[in-house]
Amino acid sequence: MARARIRFTRTVLLTSLLVGLLGATLAVEPIRALAAYATTTSALNLRASASSSGAIRLVMPAGATVEIVRRLSNGYYRVLYQGIGGYAHSDYLSVGGGSGTPSNGGATGSARTTSSLNLRAGPSAADRVLLVMPSGASITVTGESSNGFLGLTYQGTSGWASSTYITTSGASSGDNGSSDPGSGNAGSAATTSSLNLRSGASTSSSVILVMPSGASVTLTGRTSRGFSGVTYQGTTGWASSTYLSTGGGSDGGSDPGSSNAGSATTTSALKLRSGPSTSDSVILVMPSGATVTLTGNTSNGFSGVIYQGTSGWASSTYISTGGTSGGGGGSGSGLIIWPMASGGAWEIIQGYQGGTHNGTDTYSFDLALSSGGTAGQDIYAPVSGTILWNDVSSGGIAIDMGNGYMACMFHVTFSSSLTRGTSVTQGQWLGAISAPGGAGYAVTPHVHFQLWTTSGNRVSTPFTGDFAVNGQSFPDAGGSNQFGGNVIYP
C-alpha cells in the first residue's frame, strides 16, 4: 500500500510539472488558434492600418462576416473580408454572437431625406462619402445613432448620415448650417472631356463614375479647391471645374476621366495607380500580358488606362500598343513582383549565401522595412498560382507557379483561408509579417522570400532571367551575403 501511494504521488508530481512546463511554454510562445469569425454590426471601414487615420480600403456592409486574423491591443482587429486584408475596429464587430453595437439605440423603420445628403462610412463629417442620396430619398433607419448621425440603409448601401436632414414625418428640417448637407441646383454645365465624378473635392477622393465628354450636368453651387459639386444622371459628387463649361470653356486641367483611345498590352506585371506618379497609391497589380483600354490621357510618363473595369494610371514604359516590348531596362517576364506594398524603402538584410542562407536556401532574401516597423506590414502574392502548403509553425507558404517552380515566403502570419489548392492572383493580399509570438517569428521581423523547384529535392533558384523581380535581376555573382544591404522600392 505504501509503495502504491508513492507511485501515485510521483505521478501527480510529474503531471503537475508537465502542465506547468506546457503553461510556461505557451505563455512565451503562443500558437495561433483556429480561425475566429465575427459579424459587422454596422457599415464598417476596412482600413490599411490599425488607426482611424489609416487609409480606407473599402466599407464592409452591416452583417458582413469577417475572419479575425489577429487581435490587437488598441481596439482594432486584423481581419480578412472577401479575400482583402485590413484592420477594423472591435466596437463594430460581434464575435460569437456578441453585441458590439456602437450606438445608444434609437428609432428604426422608414424615413426620408429632406435634402440631398451624404451617406458616409462612419458617424462624422470626417468619414468618407459612400454616395449622395437625393432629397426625398426613402431610407431605412437601423436604430444606431452617434455624434448627431444616424445609421441607415439606402438602396442596399449601409452607412451614416446627419440626422438634421432626415425626417420620419415629412416636415422639412431646412438648411440650417449643418456640416454635412448634400447638393442642390445652381444651373447646368457640360463636360469638356471625359471626367471623373468623385466622392470629394480632391483627386485623392474615390471615383464614383466617369462622365463622358459633352455630358450635361447640374451644378449644385458648391465649390472647393478647384472642384465643383455636380449631379450627373441622379448621382451627385465633385468634378474638376476646369473640365466644366457653361458655354464651351477650356479643356485643360488635372482630373480627366476615362474614354476609349484604343487597346494596349502590359509588357510586365504593372501597378495601376490612382494618379500619374509613383507616389500615388497602388489600386491593384496588372499581370504581364494584360489587355487594357487606353483613355487617351497621358501625364508625367504615365498613361490613363482601364483594366477590368477599374480606371487608373500606369507607367507608359510597360505598355505596348503593337506587341513590342516596353521594358526599357530589363522588365523581365513579369512573372514575379516583390511581395511587399509600395510606398517605402525596403532593405535586403540577408542575401544570397549569407548566414542561414545556404543549401536549399542559398538564393533567398530576408527583407525588412528600412525605417523600421516591419512587423504587421502587409504581404501580397508575388506570383499567380495555387497554394501548395500554408504552415503556421514556420509562418511559411508556397505558391505553385505551374512551371515547375514555387515562390515561398516565411515568418508571416498568413490567412488561414489559404489552404492547399486555393488559387491566388499576383498582388492579392495574403497576410502580414509576424511580430514576436506570431507565426514563424524569428528574432527580427522580416519576410524570407525565395524560389524552389517543385519536383524532387527542393532546389534554390536565383531571381534572374524570367524570374527577375519587378524587372530587376539578381544573378549569382559569387561571395557571401550577395545583395545584402541593397535598398529596393517595391
Q: Please indicate, yes or no, if residue 442 is contained in any of the structural domains.
A: yes
Over residues 237-289, the pLDDT tens digits come to: 878 777 777 653 333 334 545 445 577 888 777 788 877 777 777 777 777 77
Whether the per-residue pLDDT at 226 is higher than 60: the answer is yes
Whether the per-residue pLDDT at 85 is higher than 70: the answer is yes
- pLDDT, position 400: 94
Is there a single domain that holds both residue 484 and residue 351? yes
- pLDDT, position 209: 75
Is there a single domain that holds both residue 122 and residue 239? no
Q: Provide the residue type at 462 as one letter.
A: P
**Ramachandran quadrant class, 243 (left: phi over 0; alpha: psi -120 to 50; beta: rest):** alpha
Rounded average pLDDT over 426-433: 88
Q: Provide the residue type at 344 as one letter.
A: G
Whether the per-residue pLDDT at 78 is higher than 70: the answer is yes
Is there a single domain that holds both residue 89 and residue 123? no
Cβ atoms of 182 and 144 within 8 Å: the answer is: no
The rounded percent of the chain whose pLDDT value lies above 90 is 15
Over residues 23-32, the pLDDT tens digits come to: 333 333 233 3
Which of 89-98, 208-217, 449-458 is predicted least confidently? 89-98
- pLDDT, position 83: 66
Whether the per-residue pLDDT at 456 is higher than 80: the answer is no
Residues 6+ apart with CB under 8 A from 472: 330, 332, 463, 488
Residues 6+ apart with CB under 8 A from 4: none
Is there a single domain that holds both residue 357 and residue 478? yes
Question: What's the longest Cα–Cα distance across the chain?
Answer: 109
Is there a single domain that holds both residue 145 and residue 238? no
- pLDDT, position 108: 53
Rounded average pLDDT over 442-452: 92
Interatomic CA distance for residues 253 and 194, integer angstroms: 12
- pLDDT, position 297: 72
Rounded average pLDDT over 86-99: 70
Q: Please indicate, yes or no, if residue 157 is contained in any of the structural domains.
A: yes
Rounded average pLDDT over 73-78: 76
- Total domains in the fold of the chain: 5
Q: Please indicate, yes or no, if residue 72 is contained in any of the structural domains.
A: yes
Q: How close are the terminal C-alpha atoms of the chain, in Å?
A: 73
Q: Please indicate, yes or no, if residue 116 is contained in any of the structural domains.
A: yes
Over residues 5-21, the pLDDT tens digits come to: 545 445 444 444 444 44
- pLDDT, position 448: 96
Is there a single domain that holds both residue 218 and residue 278? no
- pLDDT, position 248: 37
Is there a single domain that holds both residue 200 and residue 272? no
Over residues 123-148, the pLDDT tens digits come to: 777 677 777 777 777 888 776 767 66
Q: Please indicate, yes or no, if residue 219 is contained in any of the structural domains.
A: yes
Interatomic CA distance for residues 87 and 153, integer angstroms: 23
Is there a single domain that holds both residue 307 and residue 350? no
Interatomic CA distance for residues 39 and 96, integer angstroms: 8
Beta bridge partners, 460, equal 452
Which of the listed residues 49, 66, 95 is the one where a domain comes to its end? 95
Radius of gyration of the chain (CA): 27
Q: Cell numbers of 403, please?
A: 512551371
Whether the per-residue pLDDT at 452 is higher than 70: the answer is yes
The rounded percent of the chain whose pLDDT value lies above 70 is 74
Q: Which of these, 474, 446, 471, lies nearest to 460 by C-alpha position? A: 474
Which of the listed residues 95, 119, 135 is the one where a domain comes to its end? 95
Which of 5-9, 38-42, 469-473 is predicted least confidently? 5-9
- pLDDT, position 63: 77
Which of 222-226, 328-332, 375-379 is predicted least confidently? 328-332
CATH assignment at residue 226: 2.30.30.40
Is there a single domain that holds both residue 41 and residue 135? no
- pLDDT, position 21: 42
Q: Higher model confidence: residue 229 or residue 17?
A: 229
Whether the per-residue pLDDT at 438 is higher than 80: the answer is yes
Whether the per-residue pLDDT at 479 is higher than 60: the answer is yes
Q: Please indicate, yes or no, if residue 24 is contained in any of the structural domains.
A: no
What is the pLDDT confidence band of residue 398, given thresholds at 50, 70 and 90? very high
Q: Please indicate, yes or no, if residue 203 is contained in any of the structural domains.
A: yes
Is there a single domain that holds both residue 116 and residue 90? no
Interatomic CA distance for residues 113 and 242, integer angstroms: 31
Is there a single domain that holds both residue 421 and residue 369? yes
Is there a single domain that holds both residue 218 and residue 156? no
Whether the per-residue pLDDT at 186 is higher than 70: the answer is no
* Host domain of residue 313: 263-320
Rounded average pLDDT over 151-165: 78
Secondary structure of the chain in HEC code, one letter for each residue: CHHHHHHHHHHHHHHHHHHHHHHHHHHHCCCCCCCEEEEECCCEEEECCCCCCCCEEEEECCCCEEEEEEECCCCEEEEEECCEEEEEEHHHEEECCCCCCCCCCCCCEEEEECCCEEEECCCCCCCCEEEEECCCCEEEEEEEEECCEEEEEECCEEEEEEHHHEECCCCCCCCCCCCCECCCCCCEEEECCCEEEECCCCCCCCEEEEECCCCEEEEEEEEECCEEEEEECCEEEEEEHHHEECCCCCCCCCCECCCCCCEEEECCCEEEECCCCCCCCEEEEECCCCEEEEEEEEECCEEEEEECCEEEEEEHHHEECCCCCCCCCCCCCCCECCCECCCCCEEEEECECCCCCCHHHCCEEEEEECCCCCCCCEEECCCCEEEEEEECCCCEEEEECCCCEEEEEECEEECCCCCCCCEECCCCEEEEECCCCCCCCCCCCCEEEEEEECCCCCCEECCCHHHCECCECCCCCCCCCECCCCEECC
Q: Supply the mean pLDDT for the chain.
A: 74
pTM of the model: 0.41
Q: Higher model confidence: residue 59 or residue 393?
A: 393
Q: Please indicate, yes or no, if residue 435 is contained in any of the structural domains.
A: yes
Cβ atoms of 352 and 482 within 8 Å: the answer is: yes
Dihedral sign for Cα 373, 375, 380, 385, please: positive
- pLDDT, position 426: 86
Rounded average pLDDT over 41-68: 77
